[in-house]
Amino acid sequence: MFDPPIPGRHDVRICVVGGGGSGAALAYDLALRGFSVLLLEKGEFTSGTTGRHHGQLHSGARYAVGDRAIARECMEETLVLRRIVPEAIEYNGGIFAAIRDDEADYAPAFVSACLESGIPAREIPVTEARALEPVLNPALKRAVWVPDGTLDAYRLAASFLAAAAALGADLRAFTELVGIEVSDGRIRGGTVRGPDAREERVSFDVLVSATGAWAGRVGSLAGLDIPVTPAPGTMVAVRGRLSDLVLSRLAPPGDGDILVPQRGLSIIGSTQSRADSPEGILPTRAEIEFLRVRADELAPGFSRAPFHAAWAAARPLAGRAASDAEGRGISRDFAVLDHGAEGVSGMFTLIGGKATVLRAMARKAADAVCGFLDVEEPCRTADYPLPSWRAL
């Protein structure tokens, strides 16, 4: 029975825009801190980037060489998620595989960066790696074990939504924020278009936009300039569970370098390009072909397995990237933007990050809201197992 105590109620109405993982975790965090929460999602919950991501529970190993802080946060959050929402995780660990000589040379730097980030990575003999996952390329030169796993993208986010709903949050799917009302430099409310296409005015004291690749559009409703470029990435699934462990290339993050098992599928990803709009993004033939070739390098035979599906999801790229190459360099960190200085006091944007760190993202945004309201309420989302997504 999910029944966490709510120490005190605050007479403040907070609107969270976006029903992806970030908005879901934020709605739960704020409700647990005693706020009255309204969550708006223009489509079905998780119909944005969240439902379509690659589904890797990141130990942080992938990011360790580049950014220890991000890696450490991933490790901490995977442990929290494995406790509060174990049913949405296939936890089997992962292997970083060196197939080429330069990848083998990368192993020592990789392992020490992981250890410095609190990730208990360790090199394992090639024979052990191939006994664990015989599908690995026989050309395997070195292998490193890491505590990676698989997420159910939808059920992870939906469990947070179910928790928010159980605490009385008003969650509205198929309800789009179409207008933001600001007067005297403060947010007052907005206009929403409901499932029946009727428009309605709603009032709230604080607005947090957790709209990912749509953040620029939502910002513009309040006259803000939030430069965000949608950066789609493609994934390809074949039938057959080639491995239980997540398989990655032992190399700096690149394209087509992660193979994630999930149920009876094996999924290779991803790529990165740029788009004008986050809507209606479909994979290209060239991306699908590229990914199949890359997958064969990790697990020969991937491309011979029956094709299941190909799809794309849009990352929110900070700034207006002029080229794809520029886009690849972006940080996987997240940010909470306070729009008070731009004349919209009470409005925040939560953007970036990873599904793995959705709870940490929510904590930072909720802390910012508490700071703005001058309310002291600690984050308690790590303390309770979430209710089933079926309760949503």
Partner 1 sequence: MIEVNFRIRDGKDFVELSGGFPEDATVLDALETLRARAEGAAPAARVPHYRHSCHHGSCGTCGAVVNGLPSLMCLSRLSDLAAPRPREPGGPAVEPSHGPSGELVVTLEPLTRGSLVAGIAARPTSALEGIPEEYSYLRPSEDAGRASLPADPTRDGEKLPALDGAVSPPLSGRVRFEACIECGLCSAACPVTAPFLGPAALAAVNRHREKAPESAESMLALAAGADGAPACERHLHCSRVCPQAVYPGKHIQLLRKALAGRAQ
Ligand X SMILES: Cc1cc2nc3c(=O)[nH]c(=O)nc-3n(C[C@H](O)[C@H](O)[C@H](O)COP(=O)(O)OP(=O)(O)OC[C@H]3O[C@@H](n4cnc5c(N)ncnc54)[C@H](O)[C@@H]3O)c2cc1C
- For residue 321, the minimal CB distance to ligand X (Å) is 14
As measured in angstroms, the least distance from the Cβ of 22 to ligand X is: 3
Taking the C-alpha atoms of residue 133 and residue 82, their distance in angstroms, rounded to an integer, is 23
Stretch that binds partner 1, among 33-41, 81-89, 98-106, 350-358 (CB under 8 A): 81-89
Give the interface segment with partner 1, choosing from 5-13, 50-58, 100-108, 348-356 (CB under 8 A). 50-58
- Residue 44 has, within 13 A of its CA and on its CB side, a CA count of 7
Cβ-based nearer residue to partner 1, 88 or 226: 88
Nearer to partner 1, 113 or 173 (CB): 173
Contacting residue, 108, 185, 195, 254, with partner 1 by CB under 8 A: 195
User: Of 24, 132, 182, 260, which one interacts with partner 1 (CB under 8 A)?
Assistant: 132
| Cβ atoms of 119 and 61 closer than 8 Å | yes
Helix boundaries (H) for the chain: 21-32, 61-64, 68-84, 101-116, 126-132, 153-166, 215-221, 285-298, 324-328, 358-373
Partner whose binding site includes residue 354, from ligand X, partner 1, none (CB under 5 to 8 Å by kind): ligand X
- The answer to whether the beta carbons of residues 253 and 49 sit under 8 Å apart is no
Site size for partner 1 (CB under 8 A): 64
Four-residue CA torsion sign, 108, 61, 92, 80: positive
Q: Does 306 bind partner 1 (CB under 8 A)?
A: no
Binding partner of residue 355 among partner 1, ligand X, none, CB cut-off 5 to 8 Å per kind: ligand X
Using CB under 8 A as the binding rule, the residues of this chain from 224 to 283 that contact partner 1 are: 235, 237, 241, 244, 261-265, 267, 277, 279-282
Residue type, 165: A
**Number of other CB atoms surrounding residue 357 within 10 Å:** 28
Residue 306, both tokens? 């029956």
Closest separation in Å from C-beta 52 to partner 1: 5
Q: Can you tell me which residue has the tokens 């004291």?
A: 205
Given a contact cutoff of 8 angstroms between Cβ atoms, the answer to whether 368 and 336 are in contact is yes
Task: Determine how β-strand 56-57 pairs with β-strand 206-209.
Answer: unpaired
| Other CB atoms within 10 Å distance of the CB of residue 376 | 9
Q: Where do contacts with partner 1 occur on this chain (CB under 8 A)?
A: 1-2, 43-47, 50-52, 78-79, 82-84, 86-93, 120, 124, 128, 131-134, 145, 147, 152-155, 173-174, 195-197, 235, 237, 241, 244, 261-265, 267, 277, 279-282, 308-309, 311, 383-385, 388, 390
